[in-house]
Every structure is written in structure tokens, then in C-alpha cells.
A and B are shown apart, each in its own frame.
Chain A
Amino acid sequence: MTIDDLRRFGADTDEGIRRCMGNEGFYLRLVKMMPNDQNFAILFDSIEKGDLDTAFEAAHALKGALGNLSITSLLDPVLKITDLLRSRTRMDYSDLVSEIRKKHHELAELCGS
């Protein structure tokens, strides 16, 4: 995975690298950890079970990490779901969950390449 790959995926890599004090290698190392973050699985699982408290905590944690790495294309749907879950809104989350799953999958593939 290169910086360009990430940029094409939809990450604000300039901002992310600046936050890593200009160290591209360190930035990429952190990005590669993201797909394995257990909070993705917890989020999907708890939404399916209707456990919005746990879902909110997982989404909230993902929001912080994705924000820090500026992975915008994945951060955006996570931000949306976090806001909805914060007020424990009972609704159909499947579209948002699908979008997050899709982007998570793409990132995982990218990181594996």
C-alpha cells in the first residue's frame, strides 16, 4: 500500500501524515492496524442485536482513530452513525452499516496489498 493508494481510497493523507509529524512510514503502519480494530466487529454485531449503547461506544472509538488518521471516506459514515447512536435513535441502520462494511473491506484489501 502506498500513500497514493490511500489518497485514492479517500484519505486526507497530507493531514494524517502531518499528524504523524511527517513520518509516512509510521502513518502507514497505523493505517494498516485500522482494519483489525475490533470495534468494527463490535459495531456490526451490537447493531444487529439492537444494543445501541455498545454500538455507540464502538462507533465512538472508531471515530477517534479514523479521525486521527484522516481516513475520510470511512470516517464519514462512522461519524453519521455515531451521531445517530449518541441519541440512541431507533432506526434502520443497514444502509449505513453496509457502507461502513464496504469501506472497511476495501481498506482491509488495500492494507493487505
Chain B
Amino acid sequence: MAVRTENNRRTVLVVEDEFVNSQLLGFILSEEYNVLYAEDGRKALDVLKENARSISMVLTDIKMPVMDGFELIKAIRSDKSLRRIPIMVLTSESAYEEKSLDLGAIDFLTKPYDMPSIIKARVKRIIELSEGRKIIRATEKDYLTGLYAREFFFEYASRLETAGNGGRMDAVVIDLDRFNVINSLYGRSFGNSVLKAVATSLLQLLGESNGIACRFENDIFYVLCDHHDSYDSLAEKICSDLRSLSTSIRFSVRIGVLPDVSRVTSLLQQFETARTACNSIKSDRLRSVAFYSDEMHKKELLEERLLNEMQKALDENQFVVWFQPKLDIREDKPVLCSSEALVRWRHPELGMVSPGVFIPLFERNALISKLDRYVWNQAARQVARCKAKYGVSVPVSVNVSRIDLFDPDLKQTMLGILEENGLEFRDFLLEVTESAYSDDGEHLVGAIKDMRDTGFRIEMDDFGAGYSSLNSLSEMPVDIIKLDMSFTRKIHESKTTLRVVELIVELAKSLGALVVAEGVETETQYRLLILKASSG
């Protein structure tokens, strides 16, 4: 876009050898523009090169000495720094008009000139159109990959879909696996090369097929293209193209497809659906491509229903808290020493809904805190009832989700629950999953330390399931380490697992922490754990 001058006016160049004509046109335009003059094409090019960035429009005569208007138009159109400038031709010869437009002029003014108001309106309109087009050109593409920016993608995609030849089109979502890891390990610059390479592969696909593509966000690409029965070859092509960047990295992509987009639903929504298909592909999967299916549709409907009915379920106590016993096996006879609060949804129509369904769903939708608070209250009441009825305290462990740790009122809420139910810190254990330590560690570790300093006991859940167990322990001392169920399940099958359990028990002992083994189901597992507990 041309730069405006100090007086905030745009600049136009009038190229005309007939003095009267040039003065008259300049006079008309000088009300709104700074006007530069040149008597022939050659001089006009000199002026243009000196003022390339500031000139908004060229108005040129055709018949001129030295270099005529046609040559000038050609020169401007072939010069990279000048070709953005719109050209209006001044002529009294109708034969010149068509040729000028063919060469790249945008419009023409006939001589004798129209009335000034008309000239000014036409010049203004052309400059506006030209600048609008430049803004679009500058913003419609993603700067990194050259694919469309997302807003333009949806605009053009809906036009493509509407104006299409009636053929079937697919909404395709492409997600690069472990891109964040690649970025962290090999640097942002390499990460950018990866994104560019994916874009190039997609453009090649689109070169052979009708469609458009955008980088929707970070490492996720959206494509609207003619229907394909399979996208396996696309996944293979992207990965093989990426291997040219590095053979040591195992690249993989996930592709979700909504076949046959419909004109009834918005494209954005349909791409969300394709994304659901994409997200259905697990990271340890055998396939790279998933088409949106009836099964996914049913799952989505169920999830939507569960989300909508969650509040009602809380109000009607449909969520029930079960208590899983924890037994102390250090003595000869196992003794009930504590319990863990587990939540189940007894739905009036759907029956028992698995926590494996609703907990990840509530976590994704930031509703888990509500459920957590419900469970904390229910669990605390149960401990209080037990105390009142049997005169004994059976402490309970409750889950504290990652998102809860960001709540500045967490401590007050917990203290309020203890007070309300007459409980002490030892009655109420807080379970935090190991992954909570690894994501945004600093803040979360701070929040957990604060709870621990207040007096709460912290239990690290799923220890050993992630990659950062030892690291998290060094950052964050805990009171209880809960061994991931996978160790218990394999303890009698694998000597290595047995040895690892032994080490964890020793480690816990040195840290002054207790170890809880989850999911003990067989006599053998139990015996082996007793052995390790007594040796540890």
C-alpha cells in the first residue's frame, strides 16, 4: 500500500505531454491528492522509481513523445516494485482503451474530461479497491506456510463449496504427532521447516485435486478438497516428505476426515467434526486416518448429553461416591487403614456411566472442579459419619485435579470442608496425579507445597506411569506414593517389575513416605507386595 505523505494525503502521478490537459487534471485532483507530473513515459518512470512507495495511482496519456503510454504501462506492470500501482489511462481514442486495459490499466478517462466530481470519485474508488486488494493479499496467507489464513480459508472454502460443480467434497484435518516435542528438541527453526514441508505436501495434493488448505493453528491443518476414498497415501506422502528433513525422527500424522460435507451445517462445525475423527486416533495406533463414523457421532451425542445433564445430576445426587479400602499389610493381618473416594454416575436412564467416559469429558470441558468439590464434600461427610457412628477415623483420599490447583480459593475450600465436618488433616488426604507435576510445574508445585505446609497430606497418584516420576519427587516431597496399577499387575510376571517395585519401596522409605499399591487382585501379588513391604 502506498505511504501517505506528511499532510496525510495520497500522491498521484499525472503523465501528460499536453500542458493544458495535465494542468487541468492536476488542478482537479490537487484538492484531495498531492500531484506529481511527468511529460512522457520515461520521465514518469524516473518519478515512479524515486517515489515508488508513496504513489497511489498513475494517470497517463497514451500519445506522448520519447515513451508512450502503452510502453509505460508495460514497464510499470513488469517492475516488481511498481506493479501494485493502479493505472488510469487518459485518452480520446476509443481504440486505445481496449489495448490499455489488456496491458494492465484499470480504467480510463476520456477527453474531454468528465466533470471533476466524476473524475475524483473514480480515482478515489480505484485507489480504495486497489488498497483493499493489497490488504487482502497481505493478510490472506499464513506467513510461514503460504497456505490460507484461517478466516480467509473459511470464506473461500464456503465459496468453493457453494460454487462447486456439485461434486462431493471432504473436510480433512491433519495433525502432526508430537510436534511440540520436535520443536523443543530440534528448535523452532526446524519446527518451522516441518510445518512448511507439510504445507508443500498439501499444496501438491491440491494441485492434483480441487480444493484449498490452511494452517488452522500451530501444527493443525485444514483442507477442503474433492472426495477421496482413502487418505492413507496422503499420510504416507507427508511422512515421506518430512523424512527428507531428517531421517532420525519418526514423523507421523493423524488425519481426520468428514466425507461429503453438507451445505446444511456450517463449515467450521464440520471441520470440528473432522477434528473429532482426528482426535479419535490414539497415539499408539496402527492407523493414521480416521473417517468420521456413526459410532463417533453416537459418542458425541452421548458426551453432549452428559455435559448438559451434569448439573442436574449433581443436584439430584446421581453421582455416588464409593470407597475403595486401603489395607495396611505391614503386620501379619491386613488392617483397614484408609480409603480412596471413587465417583460413579448412576444415571436414571443410562444406568451406570463409566468414570472413564465422564471424567476425561469433564476435564476437557473444565467441569471437573464442580465434580471434585461434590466428591470432597460427600467423602468428608462419610468420614464424619464413620467417626460419629463407630468412633474410629478411616481417612479418605480425594482426587485434586490439575485445574483445582489453579484455584486461588482451594485452601480455604478444603479448610472449610474439614471444619464443617469436624475433620482433621490426617482424615483427608489429597491425591494429585503425577502428570500435574510435569505440566506448568512451577505454579502447581507451589500450590501443592502450600497445601502441604498448611497441614494436608499429599498422595502422589499413578507413580511410575509417566516420564517424570523421579524428577517430580525431587521437586515436591510427598507423604504417600501410590504405585501405578501397571506395576501391581505385572509384579508376579516380571522380575524387572519386581525389582522396580523394590526400588520404589526403598526410595519411599528414604523419603519418609508410605507406598500404596493399587489394584491388588491375586494372592501372588499380595504375597510379593508383603515381601517387598517388609524388606523395604
Q: Which residues of A are at the interface with B, using a C-beta cutoff of 8 A?
A: 18-21, 23, 26, 30, 33-34, 37, 39, 57, 60-61, 63-65, 67-70
Contacts and interface: CB of A to CB of B under 8 A. Distances in A.
Q: Is the interface of B mostly helix, strand, loop or mixed?
A: loop
Nearest to B20: A65
A67 B31 CA distance: 22
Given A20-B27, A64-B112, A68-B20, 4 more contacts: A18-B116, A19-B116, A21-B116, A37-B20
12 contacts: A18-B116, A37-B20, A39-B18, A60-B63, A61-B17, A63-B92, A64-B92, A65-B18, A65-B20, A67-B92, A68-B112, A70-B112
Contacts of A65: 18-21
A26 B24 CA distance: 9
B93 interface: yes
Nearest to B65: A57
Nearest to A69: B20
Nearest to B92: A64
Nearest to A58: B63
Interface in B9-40: 17-21, 23-24, 27-28, 31
Contacts of B264: none
Given A19-B115, A60-B92, A68 B21 contact: yes
B527 interface: no
Residue of B17, B18, B63 with most chain A CB atoms under a 10 A cut-off: B18
A51 B57 CA distance: 36
B467 interface: no
Nearest to A68: B112
Contacts of A70: 112
Contact of B18 (A18, A19, A26, A64): A64
A21 B27 contact: yes
Nearest to A65: B20
B113 interface: yes
Given A19-B115, A61-B63, A68-B111, A30 B93 contact: no
B113 A68 contact: yes
B24 A30 contact: yes
Nearest to B22: A65
Contacts, number: 57
A30 B21 CA distance: 9
Contacts of A34: 20
Q: Ordered nearest first, which 7 A-B pairs have the shortest CB separation? A: A67-B112, A64-B111, A65-B20, A68-B112, A21-B116, A65-B18, A30-B20
Interface in B59-97: 63, 92-93
Nearest to A62: B18
B186 to A, nearest CB: 66
Nearest to A21: B116
A67 B111 contact: yes
A51 B83 CA distance: 37
Contacts of B19: 33, 37, 65
Contacts of A57: 63
A57 B93 CA distance: 11
Contacts of A33: 19-20, 23
Contacts of B20: 30, 33-34, 37, 65, 68-69
Contacts of B113: 19, 68
Contacts of B21: 64-65, 68
Contacts of B63: 57, 60-61
A104 to B, nearest CB: 14
Contacts of A69: 20, 24
Contacts of A21: 27-28, 31, 116
Nearest to B111: A64
Residue of A26, A34, A64, A67 with most chain B CB atoms under a 10 A cut-off: A64
Nearest to B62: A60
B111 A18 contact: no
Nearest to A86: B93
Given A60-B92, A65-B20, A68-B24, A18 B112 contact: no
Given A30-B23, A30-B24, A37-B20, A60 B93 contact: yes
A40 B493 CA distance: 111
Nearest to B90: A64
Contacts of B23: 30, 33
Contacts of A61: 17-18, 63
Interface string B91-114: 011000000000000000001110
Nearest to B117: A21
Nearest to A70: B112
Contacts of B24: 19-20, 30, 68-69
A26 B111 contact: no
